[in-house]
Amino acid sequence: MKKIAAVLLMVFIAVSLAACAPNREYMGFGFMGTFYSFKGVGGVEQKELEKKLLELENLVSVDGELKKINEAKAGEAVKVDAATYSLIKFAVDFNKNSSALDISLYPIVKLWGFDNTFNENSSLTPPDDQSITQTLTHVGLDLFEFDDENMTVTKKDDLAALDLGALGKGYAVSYLLEKCGFKEGILNLGGTIGAIGKEYKVGIEPPFGGESYFAVFTLKSGEVCSTSGNYQRNYVYEGTLYHHIFGDNGRPVENSLASVTVVCGSGAAADALSTACYVLGAEKSKELLDLYDASAVFVYEDKNVSSYKLDVNVTSKDYKLKVEE
Ligand code: AMP
Ligand code: MG
């Protein structure tokens, strides 16, 4: 009897606490180089959320922990924060599954002007072949040694450098949803979106502008979606579009894709996958998506759309959906 009363009391307290949880609606700019918004129930105050965003920015950006590695000389063992180290190791392991994600491409990202100095209004010109070939000599994860015990990274080449831009936002979204105590809600960090506590309908941004979304799908509690595309950071030079996602030839990937949206239970994996799947294209992405238990939507330049294991509803008549096996 006493046991039942204690259980009933605990249920009563839990229900009362949930009922007291405040509704939250926040948004802000300039964190991790982008905007964020949160709408939901419970969890931390906006100030606390922004404090965490600044901490995360330091952990994943090239101006934070990574700067120590990128500015180090060859042979120097550089100790980084445990979270940064484990995200680097996640990306290194991911690279063993697919070389399409290579965080050591940073010298190339910089050469093309897509580092954090990039600004839509700057007039950039593509580098010449010789500079690309030369810069590629400083790219490759084999130019780094990782010491898991001491969490240090040692370069073999002075100019080798790392960039977590392809997975940092996804990592941050999962981290915030797990650590901020939100009961339910939807968090958007520059288009990388995570849900907690219940499911939400999410729209996919059309790569070619126009409506605010052209298709919708359901994001379940604990899932994160990430989109990579050639329309997000690019410049046009002499009629050709150059964008920010690179292949191992040191050039922006050329394919018929405009964007890829990936849904996964891990934010870091969703983000890493969207970048890698953009590089790989739909057919070669399937095995990788299966490996991380993820699903995806591929949008082509001709407005054909293909979905793999994701139930999407195309709401715009300009787009045609094909479901992949
Ligand atoms: P995302 O927007 O998540 O697809 O990430 C793109 C960013 O990741 C770029 O702005 C670069 O900083 C970096 N990047 C570009 N290509 C690659 C690649 N193949 N592997 C890893 N990082 C990349
Ligand atoms: Mg990514």
Q: What is the pLDDT of residues 73-124, one digit of tens each?
A: 999 999 999 999 999 999 999 999 999 999 999 999 999 999 988 988 778 9
Place of tokens 């050709």: 240
Task: Please provide the average confidence, as pLDDT, over all residues in the chain.
Answer: 93
CB burial of 252-291 (b: ≥16 within 10 Å; e: otherwise) equals bbebebbbbbbbbebbbbbbbbbbbbbbbbbeebbebbee
Task: Report yes or no on 92 lying in a domain.
Answer: yes
- State the pairing for strand pair 295-300/257-264: antiparallel
Residue to mutate (ligand 1; options 96, 105, 108; most atoms within 8 A of CB): 105
Residue 11 has pLDDT above 70, yes or no: no
List of residues 6+ apart from 17 with CB closer than 8 A: none
Res. 20: pLDDT tops 90? no
With helix as H, strand as E and coil as C, how does the chain read? Answer: CHHHHHHHHHHHHHHHHHHHCCEEEEEEEEECCEEEEEEEEECCCHHHHHHHHHHHHHHHCCCCHHHHHHCCCCCCEEECCHHHHHHHHHHHHHHHHCCCCCHHHHHHHHHCCCCCCCCCCCCCCCCCHHHHHHHHCCCCHHHEEEECCCCEEEECCCCCCCCCCCCHHHHHHHHHHHHCCEEEEEEEECCEEEEECCCEEEEECCCCCCCCCCEEEEECCCCEEEEEECCCCEEEECCEEEECCECCCCCECCCCEEEEEEEECCHHHHHHHHHHHHHHCHHHHHHHHHHCCCEEEEEECCCEEEEECCCCEECCCCCEEEECC
Q: State residue 28's pLDDT score.
A: 97
Query: What pLDDT, in 10s, does the model give residues 143-195?
Result: 999 999 999 999 999 999 999 999 999 999 999 999 999 999 999 999 999 99
225 lines ligand 1 (CB under 6 A): no
Give residue 4 CA to ligand 1 midpoint distance, Å.
Answer: 55
Ligand 1 atom with the shortest distance to the CA of 248: 19
pLDDT in tens, 46-74: 999 999 999 999 999 999 999 999 999 99
Q: Is 264 a member of any domain?
A: no
Residue nearest ligand 1's atom 1 by CA: 166
Structural domain of 115: 60-155
The best mutation among 60, 112, 244, 285 to test binding of ligand 1, ranked by most ligand atoms within 8 Å of the C-beta, falls on 244
> Is the CB of 267 within 6 Å of ligand 1?
no
Q: Is residue 215 assigned to a domain?
A: no
Protein residues near ligand 2, an ion, with CB under 5 A: 166, 271, 274-275
Please indicate whether residue 192, judged by its CB atom, sits closer than 6 Å to ligand 1: no
Tell me the CB-side half-sphere exposure of residue 182, using CA atoms within 13 A: 31
Tell me, using a 6 A CB cutoff, whether residue 253 lines ligand 1: no
pLDDT at 4 over 80: no
Question: Nearest ligand, CA of residue 106?
Answer: 1
Q: Which of 29-33, 40-44, 46-50, 129-133 is predicted least confidently?
A: 29-33
Asked whether 165 lines ligand 1 (CB < 6 A), one says yes
Kindly state the average pLDDT of the residues 197-213. 93
> Would you say the CB of residue 244 lies under 6 angstroms from ligand 1?
yes
Mean pLDDT (whole number) for 249-255: 97
Percent of the chain with pLDDT over 90: 87
pLDDT number for residue 309: 97
Residue 65 lies in a domain: yes
Whether 64 is in a domain gets the answer yes
> How far is C-alpha 157 from the geometric centre of its chain's CA atoms?
27
At 209 the pLDDT is 85
* Cα of 101 from ligand 2 centre, angstroms: 9
CATH number of the structural domain spanning residue 82: 1.10.3980.10
Residue 140 lies in a domain: yes
Using only C-alpha atoms, the chain has a radius of gyration, in whole angstroms, of: 21
Is 109's C-beta closer than 6 angstroms to any atom of ligand 1? yes
How many independent structural domains does the chain possess?
A: 1
Q: Please report whether residue 101 resides in a domain.
A: yes
Note whether residue 142 is domain-resident.
yes
